[in-house]
Chains A and B, each alone.
Chain A
């Protein structure tokens, strides 16, 4: 009772004179949050503008398709772009099946027991490994122990390890977004679990799943540290520049960019570096845009509604 007596005037004071100042604080907070959000957009635009300013003059057909040179100016980055896509596709060929199956198991099959906990924990641990450490692991296993030397395959397998957790999460989230009523309806028609997953759940999740794959692809495309010691840092000399042998060295665009400043023996290092950076940036941005567009289109195609 005594407490209530003390509290009474305090409450009254809060309600009365503070109302105005609280409204002002509220406005300031809203403005600050809006400002921070706008800053993100502004920084992105500034950054893109800066890259264009520095790199646009380097871009030419010769630059985009030509091969790197040793010692002389005028080299291109064609094989590096090719290698980036090649390593990406190789990586996806391993990452997507494994992580989609694992994510599907976790989301649709395991009833949340011990095994699920172990798999989740493993994936989360794998996700915290820094990419350079993964690269050194790849060096030990694929390059040294297996005697492959620097290969596209070794790089792709290292990137697979690096990106499995993210792809698994993407799968789990895409499947979790499918309404439970679809599962019930399918089972009530006498479908088995597998038929339900294959015919109803996966098609319904195809949009977010594709978006996730393309977003992860963007990350793979820009990955550097994991590839320096595994896929190698040179477009191997003495073979054709556009090389699909997975057991050959494959310097990607991102690795090339890192490498050109360190040890390139060409006089136009800056031109190549600025141009490469711009191409890399645009590629990764394209991945992001494509992810959204394709995801939306597939969702529309398979589910007949826009998300």
Chain B
């Protein structure tokens, strides 16, 4: 049981707190009793072998499971102390505050500009000057501005995969969320595009709390402050990234990071 206790230093304020989280697909339980605290403005990496429930866990944090027929979430997920699954909470506002970047870049079939300002427009911004400012700010923050500033009206689908993924990050930033969830954002990208995304995540944690699923332990080691290890639908261990990688407390974590699970 001690392994499930968050190892975050007590001085850090928790942005999100997950308590006794159970997730079901129909009758299949894909996540069992997960507990996790995510400190504000840090990067939390979720690692574990394929199929262990990392995406399942992540999608519970901004209520994306609401869109999956048959998926059921039990337990408590709080953002700044407020339960996002409380009946009085509108999932749309939850997703406004907790943005998400997906494994495969998924820009809309619209222009680059329309992609970036999509969220701002959705939330009522109409002023063209303001929209242009938001687009530039978000694209700069996503380290994409210099590459696309001359072709904002071109289709986003003409961009390379890495550029598309940074565009998707810009699109999330434009909504001004507080937490950004990323599900293997670099797994479809080449090494150069990947390192750009990694640098970007390092920048983002100054303003945002980032929770990122990754298949690569090197990546987790490079970019995250904290790491949690999942196995077979359970959160096995969480701690500072250096602790997890140098002196894991659980035998199963050790086996995984030393490569004994593939």
Contacts and interface: CB of A to CB of B under 8 A. Distances in A.
B71 to A, nearest CB: 12
Interface in A277-307: 302-305
Interface in B94-122: 95-97, 99-100, 102, 104, 106-111, 118-119, 121-122
B64 interface: yes
Contacts of A219: none
Contact of B108 (A111, A112, A200): A200
A187 B64 contact: yes
A190 B156 CA distance: 20
B121 to A, nearest CB: 8
B158 interface: yes
A80 B75 CA distance: 68
A192 B157 contact: no
B69 interface: yes
Contacts of A199: 118, 121-122
A186 B69 contact: no
B118 A188 contact: no
A23 B67 CA distance: 51
Contacts of A191: 92, 118-119, 122
B142 interface: no
Interface residues on B, range: 20 to 34
A183 interface: yes
Interface in A178-197: 179, 181-192, 195
A204 interface: yes
B172 A188 contact: yes
A112 B68 CA distance: 12
A195 B120 CA distance: 12
A188 B62 contact: yes
Contacts of B67: 183-184, 187
Given A184-B64, A304-B110, A304-B155, A190 B102 contact: no
Contacts of B62: 188
A189 B109 contact: no
Contacts, number: 83
B106 A184 contact: yes
Given A184-B64, A184-B67, A195-B122, A190 B109 contact: no
Nearest to A189: B119
B123 interface: yes
A206 B157 CA distance: 17
Question: Which of B97, B106, B119, B158 gathers most chain A CB within 10 Å?
Answer: B106
B93 interface: yes
A181 B122 contact: no
Contacts of B119: 189-191
Contacts of A302: 109-110
A181 B95 contact: no
Contacts of B99: 188-190
Interface string A235-277: 0000000000000000000000000000000000000000000
Interface in A6-21: none
A92 B254 CA distance: 66
Nearest to B120: A189
B214 to A, nearest CB: 19
B55 to A, nearest CB: 12
Given A112-B69, A189-B119, A304-B158, A182 B93 contact: no
A189 B122 contact: yes
Contact of B95 (A183, A189, A204, A305): A189
A182 B67 CA distance: 13
A305 B106 contact: no
A43 B150 CA distance: 53
Given A188-B62, A189-B95, A189-B175, 7 more contacts: A182-B106, A184-B100, A187-B95, A190-B93, A190-B96, A190-B119, A191-B118
24 contacts: A182-B108, A184-B102, A185-B108, A185-B168, A185-B171, A188-B62, A189-B118, A189-B119, A190-B93, A190-B97, A190-B99, A191-B92, A191-B118, A191-B122, A195-B122, A199-B118, A200-B108, A203-B109, A203-B110, A303-B155, A303-B157, A304-B109, A304-B154, A305-B109
Interface of A: 111-112, 179, 181-192, 195, 199-200, 203-204, 302-305
Interface of B: 62, 64, 67, 69, 92-93, 95-97, 99-100, 102, 104, 106-111, 118-119, 121-123, 154-158, 168, 171-172, 175
